[in-house]
Amino acid sequence: MIRQQAGTILALLLLSACAPLPFSNSPLPAKTESCGDVVEYYSLASRLSANDGRELRQALQPTGGLDDACNRLRLALLLCKPDTPFRDDAEAARLLTGFLADPATAQHPQRGLAQQLADSLADRQRLLTDSLAEHQRLLARQMLLEESLAREKSRAQVLTKELQQIQATATSLKKQVQAQQSQLDQLKSIEQDINAKERAVENPASDRKGAKAHEQK
Protein backbone atom coordinates (compact mmCIF):
# COMPACT_ATOMS: atom_id res chain seq x y z
CA MET A 1 0.00 0.00 0.00
CA ILE A 2 2.80 2.39 0.93
CA ARG A 3 4.69 1.50 -2.23
CA GLN A 4 1.58 2.13 -4.34
CA GLN A 5 1.11 5.53 -2.69
CA ALA A 6 4.74 6.43 -3.35
CA GLY A 7 4.35 5.32 -6.96
CA THR A 8 1.27 7.50 -7.34
CA ILE A 9 3.12 10.52 -5.93
CA LEU A 10 6.05 9.88 -8.26
CA ALA A 11 3.71 9.58 -11.24
CA LEU A 12 2.01 12.88 -10.36
CA LEU A 13 5.37 14.59 -10.03
CA LEU A 14 6.60 13.20 -13.33
CA LEU A 15 3.39 14.33 -15.04
CA SER A 16 3.75 17.82 -13.56
CA ALA A 17 7.33 17.91 -14.81
CA CYS A 18 6.24 17.00 -18.33
CA ALA A 19 3.10 19.16 -18.48
CA PRO A 20 3.26 22.23 -16.18
CA LEU A 21 0.04 23.32 -14.59
CA PRO A 22 -1.01 26.99 -14.54
CA PHE A 23 0.46 28.71 -11.51
CA SER A 24 -2.21 31.44 -11.43
CA ASN A 25 -5.15 32.77 -13.44
CA SER A 26 -3.25 35.92 -14.41
CA PRO A 27 -1.71 36.00 -17.89
CA LEU A 28 2.00 35.12 -18.07
CA PRO A 29 4.61 37.41 -19.59
CA ALA A 30 5.62 36.62 -23.11
CA LYS A 31 8.01 33.69 -23.65
CA THR A 32 7.77 32.55 -20.03
CA GLU A 33 6.52 29.28 -18.63
CA SER A 34 4.79 28.60 -15.32
CA CYS A 35 6.18 25.59 -13.48
CA GLY A 36 2.86 24.63 -11.93
CA ASP A 37 1.96 24.69 -8.25
CA VAL A 38 5.47 24.54 -6.84
CA VAL A 39 4.22 24.51 -3.25
CA GLU A 40 2.22 21.34 -3.88
CA TYR A 41 5.16 19.92 -5.80
CA TYR A 42 7.47 20.65 -2.87
CA SER A 43 5.08 18.92 -0.47
CA LEU A 44 4.70 15.84 -2.67
CA ALA A 45 8.43 15.56 -3.33
CA SER A 46 9.23 15.44 0.38
CA ARG A 47 7.12 12.27 0.73
CA LEU A 48 9.09 10.24 -1.79
CA SER A 49 11.23 7.28 -0.82
CA ALA A 50 14.94 7.27 -1.53
CA ASN A 51 14.51 5.16 -4.69
CA ASP A 52 11.63 7.28 -6.00
CA GLY A 53 13.61 10.42 -5.25
CA ARG A 54 16.54 9.14 -7.30
CA GLU A 55 14.17 8.18 -10.13
CA LEU A 56 12.56 11.61 -10.16
CA ARG A 57 15.99 13.25 -9.98
CA GLN A 58 17.03 11.37 -13.08
CA ALA A 59 13.82 12.27 -14.89
CA LEU A 60 14.26 15.98 -14.14
CA GLN A 61 17.82 16.26 -15.46
CA PRO A 62 17.99 19.11 -18.03
CA THR A 63 18.04 17.85 -21.60
CA GLY A 64 18.20 21.11 -23.54
CA GLY A 65 14.43 21.22 -24.07
CA LEU A 66 11.99 24.04 -23.57
CA ASP A 67 11.06 22.82 -20.09
CA ASP A 68 14.65 22.81 -18.78
CA ALA A 69 14.11 25.98 -16.76
CA CYS A 70 11.19 24.46 -14.86
CA ASN A 71 12.99 21.16 -14.49
CA ARG A 72 15.97 22.93 -12.94
CA LEU A 73 13.63 24.66 -10.48
CA ARG A 74 11.73 21.44 -9.70
CA LEU A 75 14.94 19.49 -9.27
CA ALA A 76 16.36 22.20 -7.00
CA LEU A 77 13.17 22.05 -4.92
CA LEU A 78 13.53 18.29 -4.69
CA LEU A 79 17.19 18.36 -3.69
CA CYS A 80 17.02 21.15 -1.11
CA LYS A 81 14.19 19.58 0.87
CA PRO A 82 15.52 18.93 4.42
CA ASP A 83 15.30 15.51 6.06
CA THR A 84 15.11 13.57 2.81
CA PRO A 85 17.47 10.80 1.66
CA PHE A 86 18.09 12.56 -1.66
CA ARG A 87 18.96 15.99 -0.30
CA ASP A 88 21.88 17.63 -2.15
CA ASP A 89 22.35 21.31 -1.28
CA ALA A 90 25.38 21.75 -3.55
CA GLU A 91 23.57 20.46 -6.64
CA ALA A 92 20.44 22.45 -5.75
CA ALA A 93 22.49 25.64 -5.45
CA ARG A 94 24.15 24.94 -8.81
CA LEU A 95 20.75 24.45 -10.48
CA LEU A 96 19.33 27.63 -8.97
CA THR A 97 22.39 29.60 -10.02
CA GLY A 98 21.90 28.36 -13.57
CA PHE A 99 18.19 29.20 -13.42
CA LEU A 100 18.82 32.75 -12.21
CA ALA A 101 21.69 33.34 -14.65
CA ASP A 102 19.67 32.21 -17.69
CA PRO A 103 18.43 35.27 -19.67
CA ALA A 104 15.39 33.21 -20.69
CA THR A 105 14.17 33.17 -17.06
CA ALA A 106 14.63 36.91 -16.44
CA GLN A 107 10.82 37.38 -16.36
CA HIS A 108 9.94 33.90 -15.11
CA PRO A 109 6.95 33.74 -12.71
CA GLN A 110 8.92 31.66 -10.19
CA ARG A 111 12.12 33.70 -10.36
CA GLY A 112 11.41 35.24 -6.95
CA LEU A 113 11.01 31.78 -5.47
CA ALA A 114 14.25 30.63 -7.09
CA GLN A 115 16.06 33.65 -5.62
CA GLN A 116 14.64 32.96 -2.16
CA LEU A 117 15.73 29.33 -2.40
CA ALA A 118 19.20 30.34 -3.57
CA ASP A 119 19.52 32.84 -0.69
CA SER A 120 18.30 30.23 1.78
CA LEU A 121 20.84 27.69 0.53
CA ALA A 122 23.60 30.31 0.67
CA ASP A 123 22.66 31.14 4.28
CA ARG A 124 22.55 27.45 5.12
CA GLN A 125 25.98 26.96 3.54
CA ARG A 126 27.39 29.91 5.47
CA LEU A 127 26.03 28.51 8.71
CA LEU A 128 27.48 25.12 7.85
CA THR A 129 30.83 26.67 6.96
CA ASP A 130 30.85 28.69 10.19
CA SER A 131 29.86 25.60 12.14
CA LEU A 132 32.62 23.57 10.54
CA ALA A 133 35.13 26.34 11.17
CA GLU A 134 34.08 26.51 14.82
CA HIS A 135 34.26 22.73 15.05
CA GLN A 136 37.75 22.75 13.57
CA ARG A 137 38.76 25.55 15.95
CA LEU A 138 37.49 23.55 18.91
CA LEU A 139 39.25 20.44 17.63
CA ALA A 140 42.49 22.39 17.25
CA ARG A 141 42.11 23.77 20.77
CA GLN A 142 41.36 20.30 22.06
CA MET A 143 44.48 18.96 20.37
CA LEU A 144 46.57 21.74 21.92
CA LEU A 145 45.12 21.02 25.34
CA GLU A 146 45.72 17.30 24.91
CA GLU A 147 49.31 17.95 23.85
CA SER A 148 49.78 20.30 26.81
CA LEU A 149 48.24 17.70 29.12
CA ALA A 150 50.51 15.01 27.68
CA ARG A 151 53.56 17.23 28.27
CA GLU A 152 52.48 17.99 31.83
CA LYS A 153 51.81 14.30 32.43
CA SER A 154 55.25 13.41 31.09
CA ARG A 155 56.82 16.14 33.22
CA ALA A 156 54.92 14.89 36.27
CA GLN A 157 56.17 11.36 35.61
CA VAL A 158 59.76 12.63 35.38
CA LEU A 159 59.35 14.62 38.62
CA THR A 160 57.78 11.62 40.33
CA LYS A 161 60.69 9.44 39.27
CA GLU A 162 63.17 12.04 40.49
CA LEU A 163 61.29 12.32 43.81
CA GLN A 164 61.38 8.55 44.21
CA GLN A 165 65.12 8.57 43.55
CA ILE A 166 65.60 11.38 46.11
CA GLN A 167 63.51 9.47 48.66
CA ALA A 168 65.54 6.31 48.02
CA THR A 169 68.76 8.29 48.43
CA ALA A 170 67.46 9.89 51.64
CA THR A 171 66.51 6.48 53.03
CA SER A 172 69.94 5.12 52.18
CA LEU A 173 71.67 8.11 53.81
CA LYS A 174 69.52 7.74 56.91
CA LYS A 175 70.57 4.11 57.24
CA GLN A 176 74.19 5.11 56.78
CA VAL A 177 73.87 7.81 59.48
CA GLN A 178 72.22 5.34 61.85
CA ALA A 179 75.00 2.81 61.23
CA GLN A 180 77.68 5.44 61.77
CA GLN A 181 75.96 6.66 64.96
CA SER A 182 75.87 3.10 66.24
CA GLN A 183 79.55 2.69 65.50
CA LEU A 184 80.26 6.02 67.20
CA ASP A 185 78.32 4.95 70.30
CA GLN A 186 80.30 1.69 70.39
CA LEU A 187 83.57 3.61 70.08
CA LYS A 188 82.58 5.94 72.93
CA SER A 189 81.75 2.96 75.13
CA ILE A 190 85.09 1.31 74.34
CA GLU A 191 86.88 4.60 75.01
CA GLN A 192 85.16 4.94 78.39
CA ASP A 193 86.19 1.39 79.36
CA ILE A 194 89.78 2.06 78.32
CA ASN A 195 89.88 5.30 80.31
CA ALA A 196 88.50 3.55 83.38
CA LYS A 197 91.11 0.78 83.16
CA GLU A 198 93.89 3.35 82.70
CA ARG A 199 92.81 5.24 85.83
CA ALA A 200 92.73 1.98 87.78
CA VAL A 201 96.28 1.17 86.74
CA GLU A 202 97.59 4.67 87.55
CA ASN A 203 96.00 4.91 91.06
CA PRO A 204 95.65 1.41 92.48
CA ALA A 205 96.01 2.48 96.27
CA SER A 206 93.45 5.22 95.94
CA ASP A 207 91.14 2.85 94.33
CA ARG A 208 91.58 0.29 97.16
CA LYS A 209 90.97 2.96 99.85
CA GLY A 210 87.99 4.08 98.07
CA ALA A 211 86.79 0.52 97.88
CA LYS A 212 87.37 -0.08 101.70
CA ALA A 213 85.64 3.13 102.64
CA HIS A 214 82.81 2.08 100.54
CA GLU A 215 82.72 -1.32 102.29
CA GLN A 216 82.72 0.25 105.81
CA LYS A 217 79.86 2.45 104.97
Q: DSSP string spanning 89-147? A: HHHHHHHHHHHHH-GGGTT-TTHHHHHHHHHHHHHHHHHHHHHHHHHHHHHHHHHHHHH
Which pTM was predicted? Answer: 0.53
At 148 the pLDDT is 93
Give residues with Cβ within 8 angstroms of 38, minimum separation 6.
Answer: 23, 73, 74, 77, 110, 113
Q: pLDDT class for 212, splitting at 50, 70, 90?
A: low
Rounded CA-CA distance 25/173 in Å is 105
Of residues 69 and 117, more confidence is placed in: 117
pLDDT tens column, 152-199: 999 999 999 999 999 999 999 999 999 999 998 898 889 888 888 888
Listed range (78-82, 162-166, 197-201, 210-214) with the worst mean pLDDT: 210-214
Q: pLDDT class for 210, splitting at 50, 70, 90?
A: low
Of residues 73 and 35, more confidence is placed in: 73
Rounded CA-CA distance 48/77 in Å is 13
